[in-house]
Structure 1
């Protein structure tokens, strides 16, 4: 059987060359976003969105987000609750595809209380999204809760933990549980399932540094997928062929990484380059982390081979990932590159970047690791206990039937006595178990309270470090300004410095507050205005600035965009609205926040906007940045040209 499989793989390879895989992933055609817009109902748009796997071929996820926001605004105006829920689900998926897992989790959590009112398909999509998103955020306790809900709704029969164990670094335990749960479900005649199964086993082994054994499984997976595609007895759909090509590219990337672990860099290069070529041809955001891993593997191989030009090409090229572990590896490899090329200054910079990222990860992991392990183990034991109880219930039911057949002639008094004793034993057992549970709950409560105190301390330290890092960036920009002679470049650097300071002030206010969740806006805006005045050297002698934001507190997700918007508006007023001879200049800033929503208003009585302001705004980085920030707040920017100056305003949630 093994010899036959090898022969088939060889012949199939002749008609399924490696270099051709993935070339037709993005077929030419009409804009998917246009087709989406032509759909009449929210349900039709939702179905089309999820059925279009290559939806980012012609338009980016940001373009889709603008379209969905417009649909959501329309649904809110019509008070169509079902459509609102549908567009919220699509937005959550878009933020996940963009790698903004925190925002995706927030939107998903808003829909979570409405599970009972959702149709089956939307329910499944939401729970699957939350499952994957919490895995990316490493919030494994919440991920386990979602999996329990999936089982309750019939989406999955059992709760699995192997992927969570692997994310925690327990790769051997993850592999053992994966084999126990999945091997019995794999159809031996389904070559695609066999390829997926063997590739996953190989990945567990590769994570354990068992490269030789992992290579064996990867080669088996490669053989199975080739046989799957070239099986002349089966007619494959376009989707099946595409999925097989993608899986083959992933497997080849894993083979390349296994070669590197065995110090076989030359052998690794063709596998990694072919895999990266296929993954880069995809429009999907789902495999950007896999692409980043392959890029790092290629850079590592070229560094070991002494080809520093190729190594730098990969390290400084497109590296689109939000995973901090991968960013740490990239910074360390850049440090190795600059060490090899004799640039000790840049080597130190990248080593410091890697150390800062590692410190942040270590701090968060030290806080969460113990609690996560306790949660997972407790959930797994609970799952086993449930299965054991079901088996015991079945055994007891069978025993009762036997006893009823055999005990027809036994005295009723004896039967009553037996059941009385059993009941008493059950009450004693229940009482003892109740006491044990109460003690366990008290201990867990104490652990959680201590963890919360530690969490606040860690968060303050993180915000402090972020503020210091941003101040360092601001100082670097100042140094660059002193060494720059171009007036335009100096202005650009100064603008960048004010934006950095605006963000640094946020983190400074956070770690100085007792409440780490909100920013007091009155004091923040005053500090921001002082910072901007120091840059533009207008001490306010003829400009009266009024700030009306007393008592307004905003979370960091809203405070940062509003701070950056104010930075742009105030800077523009100082630069353009008030000439040197302008008298009685006034700036009015008003922010309010309530349960119904927030309101932002900025007014100055300067020279106003020019007649061609609309066309010029398209080329103005400041206005485009303001509009993008307002969109991030789920609103639209309004600009009113008044008799005295200009007024900017918008509502926000």
Structure 2
């Protein structure tokens, strides 16, 4: 304790009070004494300039632990060092649990004041370290909040930008006369929407690093059902998704896969004048993996049938499954088409 400190020393022993006041005073400290716990509490309330307090354990009326409890009720109570003539460890442990920073066993002579001053130094160091830890945690909290706000803003802007691109593609599609080109632009628009949906989920939720897949897939399914259904040919898309969260990149890949599989089922599984059901299931298969299943009851896949469309959808499915370190498999025993993907979290 290199610099002078203002100290409140509470002890019913007048001789010890004089000794502490005299020896600490010689070392440059200002010592104010109190002969009882009640007096010490009142002095602290009347003088907020104290930097350290020492409290004796054995005092009539209000003992040290009771005094410590009352001192800690005073706003901005400085660190307290507990003084006791007992060497029982239970006394020291009780004092530390009650809020004392250090404890000293009382004795007569300079060595007691030496130990007391050393305990004061340790107490001040503990307070400094605690304050630094609190300040660091607060700075980290503020930094995290700022980063989360920035990430939400980034996702908001990305979603808006993708929405703008989607609108431009839609406008272009309306002015294209070639039917194949028009269908390709419509497919592109849906793919853009699937990605934009992830960023909408991120900036509208408290999570900025992961996506709630049940909500995300529900949004995709609703949009695709509205897109592909007509009064003559309903596309009833049933979703059964567990509330699982995935990292953003994995969510985008899975969303693209779901978009492609559902779009394929809506286009090719049933006839133009035929209603049909598509079922999507997303669930945890074990603690480390999830399973995605998309199935329909339509015409199924045939290796002999000519390829439909441009083949871009198949390449997207392969690429997205590969990004998840997985691949799509098809259940040949299913009467329609059933696509299954198993991947790690």
TM class by shorter chain equals 0.5 to 0.7
Taking the aligned partners of 2:191 and 2:255, their CA distance within structure 1 comes to: 9
Identify unmatched segments of 5+ residues in structure 1: 1-421
CA shift, 1:473, in A, is 0.6
Q: How does 1:229-268 map to 2 (within 5 A)?
A: none
Aligned residues: CA RMSD: 3.0
Q: Does 1:645 align with 2:345?
A: no
Q: Is the 8 A contact 2:233 2:274 kept in 1?
A: no
Q: Does 1:503 align with 2:195?
A: yes
Q: Does 1:517 align with 2:209?
A: yes
Aligned residues: 232
Taking the aligned partners of 2:207 and 2:277, their CA distance within structure 1 comes to: 33
Taking the aligned partners of 1:551 and 1:586, their CA distance within structure 2 comes to: 23
Q: How does 1:257-296 map to 2 (within 5 A)?
A: none
CA shift, 1:574, in A, is 1.4
Taking the aligned partners of 1:535 and 1:453, their CA distance within structure 2 comes to: 38
Q: Does 1:477 align with 2:169?
A: yes
Structure-2 residue corresponding to 1:580: 272
Q: Does 1:492 align with 2:181?
A: no
If the length of structure 1 is used for normalisation, what is the TM-score? Answer: 0.33
Taking the aligned partners of 1:589 and 1:540, their CA distance within structure 2 comes to: 23
Q: Does 1:455 align with 2:121?
A: no
| Deviation by residue 1:382-439 (Cα, 9 ceiling, x = unmatched) | xxxxxxxxxxxxxxxxxxxxxxxxxxxxxxxxxxxxxxxx999987766554433322
- Give secondary structure in 2 for the equivalent of 1:567: helix
CA shift, 1:545, in A, is 2.0
CA shift, 1:483, in A, is 2.3
Taking the aligned partners of 1:473 and 1:642, their CA distance within structure 2 comes to: 41
Taking the aligned partners of 2:267 and 2:166, their CA distance within structure 1 comes to: 20
Structure-2 residue corresponding to 1:139: none
Taking the aligned partners of 2:232 and 2:295, their CA distance within structure 1 comes to: 16
Structure-2 residue corresponding to 1:465: 157
Q: Does 1:529 align with 2:185?
A: no
CA shift, 1:541, in A, is 4.9
Taking the aligned partners of 1:549 and 1:519, their CA distance within structure 2 comes to: 13
Q: Is the 8 A contact 1:587 1:602 kept in 2?
A: yes
CA shift, 1:529, in A, is 2.2
Identify unmatched segments of 5+ residues in structure 2: 1-113
Q: How does 1:29-178 map to 2 (within 5 A)?
A: none
Taking the aligned partners of 1:426 and 1:649, their CA distance within structure 2 comes to: 70
Of residues 245, 263, 275 in structure 2, which corresponds to 1:571?
Answer: 263
Q: Is the 8 A contact 1:494 1:535 kept in 2?
A: no
Of residues 284, 303, 327 in structure 2, which corresponds to 1:636?
Answer: 327
Q: Is the 8 A contact 1:617 1:623 kept in 2?
A: no
Q: Is the 8 A contact 2:232 2:274 kept in 1?
A: no
CA shift, 1:484, in A, is 1.7
The structure that is strand-richer by fraction is 2
Of residues 586, 589, 600 in structure 1, which corresponds to 2:292?
Answer: 600
| Deviation by residue 1:50-86 (Cα, 9 ceiling, x = unmatched) | xxxxxxxxxxxxxxxxxxxxxxxxxxxxxxxxxxxxx
| Deviation by residue 1:126-184 (Cα, 9 ceiling, x = unmatched) | xxxxxxxxxxxxxxxxxxxxxxxxxxxxxxxxxxxxxxxxxxxxxxxxxxxxxxxxxxx
Q: Is the 8 A contact 1:598 1:651 kept in 2?
A: yes
The structure that is helix-richer by fraction is 1
Q: Is the 8 A contact 2:173 2:182 kept in 1?
A: yes
Could you say if the C-alpha distance between residues 599 and 617 of structure 1 is closer, same or farther in structure 2, counting changes exceeding 3 Å? farther
Structure-2 residue corresponding to 1:265: none
Could you say if the C-alpha distance between residues 519 and 540 of structure 1 is closer, same or farther in structure 2, counting changes exceeding 3 Å? farther
Taking the aligned partners of 1:623 and 1:590, their CA distance within structure 2 comes to: 20
CA shift, 1:463, in A, is 1.3
Q: Is the 8 A contact 2:229 2:235 kept in 1?
A: no
Taking the aligned partners of 2:231 and 2:288, their CA distance within structure 1 comes to: 37
Q: Is the 8 A contact 1:520 1:551 kept in 2?
A: yes
Q: Is the 8 A contact 2:225 2:236 kept in 1?
A: no
- Give secondary structure in 1 for the equivalent of 2:272: coil
If the length of structure 2 is used for normalisation, what is the TM-score? Answer: 0.60
CA shift, 1:527, in A, is 1.9
Taking the aligned partners of 1:626 and 1:617, their CA distance within structure 2 comes to: 15
Of residues 280, 290, 294 in structure 2, which corresponds to 1:589?
Answer: 280
Taking the aligned partners of 1:459 and 1:547, their CA distance within structure 2 comes to: 29
CA shift, 1:534, in A, is 4.0
CA shift, 1:454, in A, is 2.2
Taking the aligned partners of 1:616 and 1:542, their CA distance within structure 2 comes to: 24
| Deviation by residue 1:510-553 (Cα, 9 ceiling, x = unmatched) | 22222333323233223212322444453695433221104233
Larger Rg: 2
- Give secondary structure in 1 for the equivalent of 2:331: strand
Taking the aligned partners of 1:480 and 1:542, their CA distance within structure 2 comes to: 27
Q: Is the 8 A contact 1:600 1:650 kept in 2?
A: yes
Taking the aligned partners of 1:532 and 1:637, their CA distance within structure 2 comes to: 21
